[in-house]
Amino acid sequence: MMNILVSDHLSEEGLKILKEVKEFKVEVKTDLKPDELKAAIKDYDALIVRSATKVTQEIISAALRLKVIGRAGVGLDNVDLKAATGKGIMVMNTPAGNTVSTAEHTMSMILALSRNIPGADASLKSGQWQRSKFMGVELYAKTIGIIGLGRIGREVAKRAASFDMKVIAYDPFLSKEVASQIGIELVELEELFKRSDYISAHTPLTSETRHLISEKEIALMKKGVRLVNCARGGIIDEEALLKCLDSGKVAGAALDVFEKEPPDFSSPLLKHKNVVITPHLGASTEEAQVNVAIEICESVRDALLNKGVRNAANFPCLAQEVCQLLQPYIILGEKLGSLATQLFEGRVSELRINYTGEIIKYDLSPLTMAIVKGVLSPILQETVNYINAKSLARERGINLLESKSEKEEDFTNLISLELDVEGKRRKVAGTLFTNNEPRIVNVDGLYVETIPQGYMLFLENWDKPGVIGSLGTLMGKNKINIAGMTFGRDKPGGKAVSALNIDSPVSAKILDEVRKLDNILSVKLVKL
């Protein structure tokens, strides 16, 4: 008998799937305190949560039988993924369950904003009849700019098109051919800002997308633009938005998410007459909650019964002996993919993976899944996992090629990635050193040996005296500790790659200072 604990409220339609399996004993215990969950978890083979339960390292350490953690939702910020992986516990989520609900809520917000519905409703209920005060605008023939064409972004595009809106979009991971097939014009971000009457964000929140829309970006937009965010709080700079609402540059905004949740209820933004707000309701429909419950319960059921894995966030292979052997390479491959995306900006049309050495005698499909997940994760975040990575890459028009070769002159085993980025061929390669420690050994054809870990700075520079000194001085002045520094060059005085492991992130201001140093060609901050 396998014991399953459901520690958050879950739709009965999902629970029924588990209760019908005679090998399962299902217990629903909601509102457990952390100490209570820690004491109870030792008796369970699976744990299913939503967002309320925090599955910390301490709780995972107390688990003796736990094989699967299922999250009925997209985000995994309440599950310690690293601790679960270290203990061999599979973590699953439901990246597609709330797609339609969030897309419909986005359109609801756009319509409410355009026709002043919240204000008109409140006015009429207060006993006033003020038709002229709530003059609206039509969606017909307006241009909507969608930032991010994942599942939700595409569903919003379909619904906007049904209103005869002109749909343009920015997505650095989607090919123009694929966008054209679904009737969307793919443009660069600056063009989207300039052309759009409405702008709707549908991206994860990352260091690159935080304050993606701020005062500088709003300055590029049409006077009277309307902004919508039903994705993640922080994509729109709320302070800049308020300023531009007051000036009239932005005609209105519709927000379902906020930089801090719950938000500061005294904030002028929440009280602004041209802002429509809802308390993070994108996935809050009966159908969405049923969908995620069914999806996670089916996934947990199949995993426990060894009938296959879906939406695993941390486990690309099932056979224990194969996982143990390939796990260090899986870690390396995912880091290589993430590094490539963060280093090489632009639309990827092709990804070539070459495996060399003794590892080619094994089934490397889990490793390929990990590499593709690494490539997509910096922009798609928790919506991509090991299981769906390859299909998402195909959806975005990325041609995936694999090859194997037996010999490598310098390394026993080597994983090489070549990406076609905006027509240019870019390359990274890595291997394992002593004690299975991952190493980056090649960046764009230059040998550079560095540990892919934490915050890193990668620089292209001319191999000239003084570069190292000026860089070290600048880092020291800004109290950025350098944990390691390596270099590679094609020839004395030629182009070089410098890789720095640093103990803390570097601000955009400091990166600008680095770019201004003599002989520096480019600099990228990477988080691995």
Per the CB < 8 A criterion, the answer to whether 505 and 496 are in contact is no
Helix ranges, 305-349 (H): 320-343
- Sheet holding 455-462: strands in order across? 482-489, 495-502, 455-462, 520-527
- As a dihedral over the C-alpha atoms of residue 323, residue 325, residue 328, residue 333, rounded to 10 degrees, the angle is -70
Cβ–Cβ < 8 Å for 136, 116? yes
CA distance 450 to 441: 7
Look at residues 367, 317, 364, 300 and name the one whose alpha carbon lies nearest to residue 88.
Answer: 317
Which residue, among 67, 46, 160, 70, has the nearest Cα to 109 in the 3D structure?
Answer: 160
Pairs from 152-156 (Cβ < 8 Å, separation ≥ 24): 152/99, 152/102, 152/103, 152/106, 152/202, 152/231, 153/200, 153/202, 154/182, 155/99, 155/100, 155/102, 155/103, 156/103, 156/106, 156/107, 156/200, 156/202
402: helix, coil or strand?
strand
Residues acting as catalytic residues? 232, 261, 280
Question: Rounded to an integer, what distance in angstroms lies between the CA atom of residue 73 and that of residue 281?
Answer: 13
Contacts of 481 (CB under 8 A, 6+ apart): 475, 502, 503, 504
Single-letter code of the amino acid located at 108: S
Q: Bridge partners of 146?
A: 169, 200
For residues 243 and 63, what is the distance between their CA atoms, to the nearest angstrom? 50
Conformational region of residue 436, where left means phi above 0, alpha means psi within -120 to 50, and beta covers everything else: left
Backbone phi, then psi, for 4, in 5-degree steps? Answer: -120, 125
How would DSSP label each residue in 515-527? HTSTTEEEEEEEE
Nearest to 58 by CA among 39, 77, 85: 39
Helix ranges, 134-250 (H): 151-162, 176-181, 189-195, 215-220, 238-247
Quick one: how far is CA 325 from the chain centroid?
28
Distance CA 125, CA 20 (A): 49
- 91 closest CA partner among 77, 71, 74: 71
CA 343 to CA 292: how far, in whole Å? 35
